[in-house]
Amino acid sequence: MPPARGEPVTPSPPSAARPAARPGPTARTTFMTRLSDAATSLFALLVVAVFRIIDSSINLRIVGYEYVAAVLRARRQILVVVWHGRGLLPILFFQGLPLMIYTSHPRDGSFRGLSRHVRRLSLAGMRHLGYRVFDASTFSTESRGVIRFLQLLEQSRGGVIAADGPSGPNFRAKPGAVFMAKKTGVDLLPVGAAFRDAIAWDSWDHFEIPRPFTRAAIIIGEPIDVPHDLDDAGVERLSRHLETVLNQLTAQAEDEAWGLEVAQAPQRAHG
């Protein structure tokens, strides 16, 4: 009811309305993250272009391609298994196939600084090469990431995994690849690779980057069938066998890269 004429008016207290929201650190962080991702993707595209030029100059010797051809004809699912430090050449070789790359990083706090930036660049590069990249480190635990990868692997044509990743020891196979094959029914396809002249990265795996016009070799082993009812002891035994096979293929690749003339062979594994 309005006050009577002449009656003093008591002013109402100021409202407790909140001040207008201002852009906070979250919005800025999101923008900077997107900008960083875009810069990483662009730089990765340039790096991939350089690698493709180097790759085109390499004298490549391929042994065991018939196993890849058989897999493509039969439309079988495979899990390509490589050593982490020798993974670049197989990644370049198998581009064009619908493979999903399993990747992760150590969760013990040792993974930081330059290694983190290099990894982001590597993942972006693999995507530019046409691979689907599955990053298990984005899950709360490694086991949750593995479970999701297995679900996706069953629905895809195949995948790629480093037997000694993500943190080594170098050239020592962990049970992950055999376990994944046991759970999904895919065949393991071991691949050894070597460059004659390469720059070794200062890391646990001594990751190799080839020099232009060098010789290289890829040795593809016979697919390994993993029984679905394999017990834990069997997984360990088969993992040791896989390790032996990969080391033998790698040694053979080194011999081929250093000693033999280049033979006529398919240059890429496009399906």
For the stretch 55-92, pLDDT in tens is 999 999 999 999 999 998 998 999 999 999 999 999 99
Tell me the pLDDT tens digit for each residue of 92-123: 999 999 999 999 987 656 556 667 788 889 99
The predicted model gives 242-267 an average pLDDT of 81
- Helices 25-57 & 114-128 angle (0-180, nearest 10): 60
Residue 178: pLDDT above 80?
yes
Quote the tokens at residue 211.
């020099």
Q: What is the pLDDT of residue 267?
A: 47
271 pLDDT exceeds 70? no
Q: How many CB atoms lie within 10 A of CB 211?
A: 13
Find how far residue 125's CA is from the centre of its chain: 10
CA distance 139 to 188: 25
Tell me the one-letter amino acid at 179. F
**Closest among 262, 253, 255, 261 to 88, alpha carbons compared:** 253
Q: Give the closest residue to 162 by CA, choosing from 153, 171, 154.
A: 171
> Cα(183)–Cα(226) distance, rounded to whole angstroms?
9
Q: What is the pTM of this model?
A: 0.82
> What domains are defined for the chain?
30-259 (3.40.1130)
